[in-house]
Structure 1
Amino acid sequence: MSTEVKPLPVHYSLAAGAIAGVTEILAMYPLDVVKTRFQLTVGKAESNSILGTFKSIVKSEGPAALYRGIIPPIMVEAPKRAIKFGANDAYKNLYKRNFGFRDSQGLSVLTGVSAGATEALVVVSFDLIKIRLQDKNNAGKYKNTMDCVAKIMQEEGIRGFFKGMEATIWRHAVWNGGYFGVITGVRQALPEPETKQGILLKNFVCGSFGGTVGTLLNTPFDVVKTRVQSQVHPPYKYNWAIPAIVRIAREEGFSALYKGFVPKVLRLGPGGGILLVVYDLVTSYMRKHLL
């Protein structure tokens, strides 16, 4: 079975990425709330287990708290995932056409890093709002998403919405590079499927491996990003990503750089598989019916 497929126009890739992203977030969002709670905890947490944290949130804040802050991610999810896949395809075509690159795992890493850095520029403000709403310390401070936006503007100005930009670029560039690089490697290692079900299974396995490795690589930057974006009033304890990683490791131990790793990987491992399967299903439909 040939692996050569006709490149999609960028607007089709963007649309397919958007559909894949919204599907993933609706399925996996509560794990993101738990991840943020873990990452913002300095010292001993109320619960070290995912199930215990779920129970604690529901008991003290109600079931709706598991979806607190979901509006900003949904608002940005379409452009975010669209850029993840659309920009990845666009950068791949750019590097192949202008710089003579050929399809390889190295090219997949390069295009993933490039797409991730581009993606970060779009998502940083939405992610900051989400973090503020998910933070237990802000319970009762914000009535809703728009109230959170208004108070950030009032207290921190327009620059406040771009807090954590550098850490966000690191986070997305590293994750995307690992994700797309691993997908290419696993695809090459696995046998070529002969049925549609086999193709879906292979894509899910590739995406899950990619999501897991991407999460392993970028979690320290994610912890830093969450800490940076949760800060409201100076002096700020965390600023630049690398010095913040060193400080957290020194003060709390190396393991603190992986706080929230388990709920994060449980979301982004299978979530990466969901993304790839839905994206491939949608793009296959587009190639068959729209081109």
Structure 2
Amino acid sequence: MVGTFGHIMKHNGVTGLYSGLSAALLRQITYSTTRFGIYEELKSRITKNSDNPAAAPGLLTLIGMASVSGFIGGFAGNPADVMNVRMQSDAALPPHQRRNYRHAFHGIVQMTRTEGFSSLFRGVWPNSTRAVLMTASQLASYDTFKKLCIDKAGMKDNLSTHFTASFMAGFVATTVCSPVDVIKTRIMSASHAEGQGQSMVNLLRDICRKEGLSWTFRGWVPSFIRLGPHTIATFIFLEEHKKLYRRLKGI
């Protein structure tokens, strides 16, 4: 991680650290909005149709809802995710190998022209698998940890509880998704020629043969540094947003 950071700073300066910002924002708009929206809607419907509306859905029910939400969100956010991976990896490449996308929409247009529309969904299966794992481990674990904090630890439904539950959810999500993140990044960053004929199974076999099992948690620390604060900020914002919505609606 330190070597990559130094290489980017040396050749691109501070701006290189923000390569792919537009793609990252587009990804959150498409991917995160879809999965959070579907998850909350499913949870609301199941709670309303339950014999005991006051009771929270069980862990298996939460995992099921989160998995469906994540799968749909993975498809919705895949084009932006491809751009995000490519634009971020550009900063670490020599100048003659860079794609030089100006922003996410420019990259989508260029990629569609040169590699076809289907290229926008390159890596969609590992990405959707990762989205299922991410949403299940992040959203379902957050609701579970929050319930444990309130019911077992005697904490109140406040900011400290939301912070604690979201921190633990970020830890779980990073650990569960680490192997899939490695595979997804390698597939999406590959060029058209490199990606042809390389299935996810073949890629997995090649990685295991060359690198052993250590690849599964390669990059865990930078992933947690990114995902931990992101998870905490996301759930704290979501809780405050729901609180404001209920106050405005008189719920």
TM-score by length of structure 2 reads: 0.84
Matched, 1:89 2:40: yes
Structure 2 vs 1, CA of residues 220 and 86 (structure 1 numbering), >3 Å: closer, same or farther?
same
Q: 1:199 to 1:58 in 2, by over 3 A?
A: same
1:217 Cα offset (Å): 0.8
- Give the aligned partner of residue 237 of structure 2: 278
Superposed displacement of residue 128, structure 1: 0.3
Q: Secondary structure at the match of 1:103?
A: coil
Cα deviation, residue 235, structure 1 = 4.8
Partner of 1:216: 175
User: Which 5+ residue runs of structure 1 have no aligned equivalent?
Assistant: 1-49
SS at match of 2:158: helix
Contact 1:224/1:245 (<8 A) preserved: yes
Confirm or deny: 8 A CA contact 1:227 1:238 kept in the other structure.
no
The 8 Å contact of residues 131 and 229 in structure 1, kept in 2 or not, is answered as: yes
Q: Provide the C-alpha distance between the structure 1 equivalents of 2:63 and 2:127, rounded to a whole number of angstroms.
A: 18
Once the 2 structures are TM-superposed, how far is the Cα of residue 173 of structure 1 from its aligned partner? 0.2
Does the 8 Å CA contact 2:82/2:122 hold for their aligned counterparts? Answer: yes
Gaps of 5+ in 2: none
Correspondence for 1:137: 93
Q: After TM superposition, give the deviation of residue 99 of structure 1 in Å.
A: 9.1
Number of the residue aligned with 1:19: none
Deviations 1:64-86 (A, max 9, x none): 01110110221232332222321
Tell me the equivalent position of 1:127.
81
CA RMSD of aligned residues (A): 2.5
Residue 267 of structure 1, CA deviation: 1.4
Would the alpha carbon gap of residues 95 and 285 (structure 1) be closer, same or farther in structure 2, given more than 3 Å must change?
A: closer
Map of 1:287 onto structure 2: 246
Contact 2:178 2:220 in 1 (8 A): yes
Task: Work out which of the residue numbers 53, 61, 65 in structure 2 matches 1:111.
Answer: 65
C-alpha displacement at 1:278, in angstroms?
0.7
Could you tell me how far 1:95 is from its partner in structure 2? 4.8
1:72 to 23, 41, 49: 23
1:137 is displaced (CA, Å) by: 2.9
TM-score under structure 1 length normalisation: 0.74
Question: How many residues are treated as equivalent by the alignment?
Answer: 239
Answer whether contact 2:182 2:218 (CA < 8 A) is retained.
yes
**Which of residues 130, 148, 152 is equivalent to 2:107?**
148
Tell me how far 1:245 sits from its aligned partner: 2.8
Over the matched positions of the two proteins, sequence identity in percent amounts to 20
Larger RCO of the pair (alpha carbons < 8 Å, separation 6+): 1
Judged with a 3 Å threshold, the aligned counterparts in structure 2 of structure 1 residues 153 and 205 are, in CA distance, closer, same or farther, namely same
Shift of 1:216: 0.8
Q: What residue number does 1:265 align with? A: 224
